Amino acid sequence: MKKYTYIIDNTFGLLKASLFALLFFVGGNVFAQTIELNIGKTDIGINESFEITLTVKNGRMNNYSEFPDIPGFRKGRPSSSSQTTIINGQVSTQQSVTQLYQPTKQGTFTLAAFTMKVGDKSKNHPGASIKVGKPVQRQTYDPFADFWGRGNSFDRNQDNQQFIDVKADAFYAVSTDKSSVYRGEGFKMDISFYIAISNQAELEFYKMDEQITNILKAVKPKNCWEENFNIESIRPQIITINGKSYRQYKIYEAMFYPLNTEDIVIPTTELEMVKYQVSKRQSFFGRERKEDREVFKSKGKTIRIKDLPDNPQKELSSVGNYRLREKLSDKQLKTGESVTLEFRVEGEGNINAIRQPNLSETDSLLFYPPSVSQSINRANGKVVGAKTFQYYIEPQEPGEYLLKDFISLSIFNPKTKKYQTLYPEGKIVVEGESLRNAQISKSDLGSFYDAMKNANNSLLFMDDTNWVKIILNIFVVITIGLTVFINVKKF
């Protein structure tokens, strides 16, 4: 009776494994795309931001419409995040973009009903009433007031006017935070226009969508993985360069991770701006001005890509500044029971490129393919996140098991320039009888052939086996009946 119990237990284990494999291979892409539109709190202080978040689940955040304008607010720089989850082969993704709004004064403002589109799908929002409370001590200001200027322009008699070309104290640059990186190590690229605080020339952006598209075609490296910070609105921030204050208008920002050791060459590009010449004669309303163009050029540069240092784990190592967080569902169990190990790698780097941990094959512990999920946050010039591998483990033999003997992940840290191995510190204690021997006995065909050797191979007479005669008679009757039926049908 004990022998049959082993067979049933192991058959159930095989059924679980087969079911898991079936879900893993055919369960992907079962979630439909959905769009969500949410707003933040509607009762804020003037020193706080109001926010609108657009979220796409199980789809791509492509070609989405602009966030609405709100009277009494200025748009800030949006932030984006994404998350991918794979559980038993079922893939779900989530991408979000959050637009911040800075109030310009106190009062109650109306966010009118609006619609946002992602591709060919749209999402409506009924709007809201936003209350802005008392301001803090710092004063809000219009950062564009000094930049754009408030002079009036008149067309009359412009041909007879004499205009002055005011030199622009500004420059355009394509910058990177590093000039040399390891393969797989990230470097940040931003495209910005800088205007000195002391600048007197009146400047405006010109056909930015078209210009940005052409610039990105030229400067984006082809041999890199890109993590885009998705800048939607161009807003200034005050920075200091060589002791001089500038307003930086950041047009594009992304992290790039080289996929090979080919050096990256960033060519010189151009940005055309509207520049106004001012009249020598000043009227009661201020100086008249005339529109002109000025082209600003960036400097080219080359980023050298270094190969990883020689190491036996060189080709298997993930690159980044990572740490491991582990979680074990149980530490004491019996053979045939299961335990879940959460192997979470988190830190700064190319989260998408984190490899699956190495597993040491063993008959004592059965590791099923892991469920994988990841989350990525792009903010403040950094890409950070986590990738989680969740393993389902079934012990087959009693004993004590150090998990570091079975699972590990090799990492190359570009900050320390050293390799390290991430492995769990946990230990499980297993009690009970061996299931591995039962599995072997089930798959062993020796007992079957032994039974054949001992079987009686003498001939049996038909008269001595009544049940054989009954079966043959039934077969003959069925055959005759089918033959008659077919012949009658033909006629």
Structure tokens at 485: 């039926």
What is the chain's mean pLDDT, rounded?
Answer: 81
If one counts every other C-beta atom within 10 angstroms of the C-beta of residue 423, the result is 20
pLDDT at 450: 55
Residue 392, amino acid: Y
pLDDT at 28: 43
β-bridge partners, 224: 258
**Average of pLDDT values for 271-286?**
73
Q: For the ranges 57-66, 82-91, 299-308, 321-330, which has the lowest average pLDDT? A: 82-91
Domains 31-138 and 311-441 are alike in CATH topology? yes
CATH topology of domain 31-138: Immunoglobulin-like (2.60.40)
In Å, the largest CA–CA distance within the chain is: 132
- Report the Cα–Cα distance between both ends of the chain, in Å, rounded: 60
Output helix, strand, coil percentages for the chain, rounded to the nearest 5: 20, 45, 35
- Domain ranges in the chain are 31-138, 141-307, 311-441, 459-491
Cα–Cα–Cα angle for 276, 280, 281, nearest 5°?
Answer: 115
CATH topology of domain 311-441: Immunoglobulin-like (2.60.40)
Cα–Cα–Cα angle for 424, 427, 429, nearest 5°?
Answer: 155
pLDDT at 85 exceeding the cut of 70: no
**Average of pLDDT values for 282-299?**
75
Compare 476 and 308 and report the one with higher pLDDT.
308
pLDDT at 247: 93
pLDDT at 145: 42
**Average of pLDDT values for 23-35?**
55
pLDDT, tens digit, 9 for 90 and up, residues 432-487: 998 866 655 444 445 545 555 555 555 544 455 566 567 767 876 787 777 766 66
Distance (Å, whole) CA 233 – CA 188: 19
pLDDT at 156: 44
